[in-house]
Amino acid sequence: MARVDLDVPYNERTAAQQRGARWDPERSCWFVPEHIDPSSLIGWSPASDIVNARAHHYYLLEGIQACERCGAQSRVHAIVLPTGHEVRLQGQDEGHEEWERSDEPSLLAFVTALAPSVAARIREETYSYRARQTYPVAYHYNHCEFCGSAFDEYALFATPGHGFDVLSESAAAAIHVTVVHSGFAGAADHFSYGVAFLDAMTRR
């Protein structure tokens, strides 16, 4: 298995070491030893074409939405990154990238990539949140559990009062939240700044 290198800030080196990361003095970088489960360390994944967001834990949201095609009430899911997650920024110099730490949680939409451990964890909840090829990239969409039709991302994530864009505590209480205590790494085209009524959602 190929070695997994990590991008660990200096002030987080102790936390990374406690989770099993090791320092390679020859390459001057942290890495995941072969006997360590990398899922606890992917919050330090280096920036790449398939990683523009990372966190040391994350939330899975579950709501109910009527399918526009068949009318059935289907479960739908979303990923929220907590306060303190990091988003990749393009640096001023070509090829140079930086991480920006967020002081608010973020709801991800138009997800283009998920680390294998994240994708596997979501499959434990549902097989209806999966990649669907759309030109020029494949996005992860919610699909109706009954007819397989894809839900509209804009309707679920960017339409006030619809899907996960709730407008009241009572609407938020109908959404269930599972805290996943392992790292997140992936890529998305849209990040919200803050998540309305997150604290009012029902914890599992």
- Tens digit of each residue's pLDDT (9 = 90 or more) over 157-168: 999 999 999 999
The chain-wide mean pLDDT, for the chain, equals 93
In this structure, how many other beta carbons lie within 10 angstroms of the beta carbon of residue 62? Answer: 20
Residue 95 is predicted with a pLDDT of 56
Residue 136 is predicted with a pLDDT of 78
Residue 185 is predicted with a pLDDT of 96
Q: Does residue 201 register a pLDDT over 90?
A: yes
What is the mean predicted confidence (pLDDT) over 106-130? Answer: 95
Instruction: Work out the pLDDT band at 96, boundaries 50, 70, 90.
Output: low
Q: Does residue 49 register a pLDDT over 80?
A: no
The pTM for the full model equals 0.89
In this structure, how many other beta carbons lie within 10 angstroms of the beta carbon of residue 171? Answer: 18
Contact assessment for residue 149 and residue 70, using Cβ atoms and an 8 Å cutoff: yes
Instruction: Work out the pLDDT band at 93, boundaries 50, 70, 90.
Output: low
Q: What percent of the chain has pLDDT over 90?
A: 84
State how far Cα 181 lies from the chain centre. Answer: 13
Distance CA 88, CA 95 (A): 12
Contact assessment for residue 47 and residue 8, using Cβ atoms and an 8 Å cutoff: no
Residue 91 is predicted with a pLDDT of 57
For the chain, the DSSP string reads ---EEE---GGGHHHHHHTT-EEETTTTEEEE-TTS-GGGTGGGPPPBTTBSEEESSEEEEEEEEE-TTT--EEEEEEEEEPTT-EEEEE-SSTT-EEEEE-SS-EEEEEEEEE-HHHHHHHHHH-SSEEEEEETTEEEEEEB-TTT-PBPPHHHHHSSTTBTTB--SHHHHHTSEEEEE-S-EEEEEEEE-SS-TTGGGSEE-
Residue 133 is predicted with a pLDDT of 79
What is the mean predicted confidence (pLDDT) over 43-57? Answer: 91
Residue 2 is predicted with a pLDDT of 77
